[in-house]
Amino acid sequence: MRLTDVMSALSDPIRVGIVRVLADGNEQAWGDLRVPVGKSTLSHHLKVLRAAGITRTREEGTRCFVRLRGDDMDERFPGLLLSVLQAAERDDVGSAVRVE
């Protein structure tokens, strides 16, 4: 997990929205994420988050689940995730992303 990769991944409002949805610590099925983009674009955003080390993906049969690596982020970059989440809420960044 490198700071430049994390910051780059968090530079997109959709990805920030995904992080906001996952911030409760619960694992979510990809199919339950409601985003204002197509499936292939969602897949790209999830890949960027995973490559940066922000999320972890688990497959179960034909379903994929994603979870925020919040503890790992806090250990590596103390306070960064909380700061991003607070700023995103204040500025309403990523609010179009929801979970069904």
With contact defined as beta carbons under 8 Å apart, do 72 and 39 qualify?
A: no
Nearest one of 4, 96, 82 to 42, comparing CA atoms: 96
Query: How many beta carbons lie within 10 A of that of residue 17, not counting itself?
Result: 22
Contacts of 40 (CB under 8 A, 6+ apart): none
Name the pTM for this structure.
Answer: 0.93
* Domain around 39: 3-96
Token pair 């906001």: residue: 20
Quick one: 97 exposed, middle or buried, by C-beta within 10 A (0-12, 13-18, 19+)?
buried
The tens digit of pLDDT for each residue in 37-86 reads 999 999 999 999 999 999 999 999 989 999 999 999 999 999 999 999 99
* C-alpha to C-alpha distance for 13 and 15, rounded to whole angstroms: 5
Number of domains within the chain: 1
Q: In CATH, what number is assigned to the domain containing residue 66?
A: 1.10.10.10
Whether the Cβ atoms of residue 56 and residue 37 lie closer than 8 Å to each other? no
Q: What is the pLDDT of residues 7-42, one digit of tens each?
A: 999 999 999 999 999 999 999 999 899 999 999 999
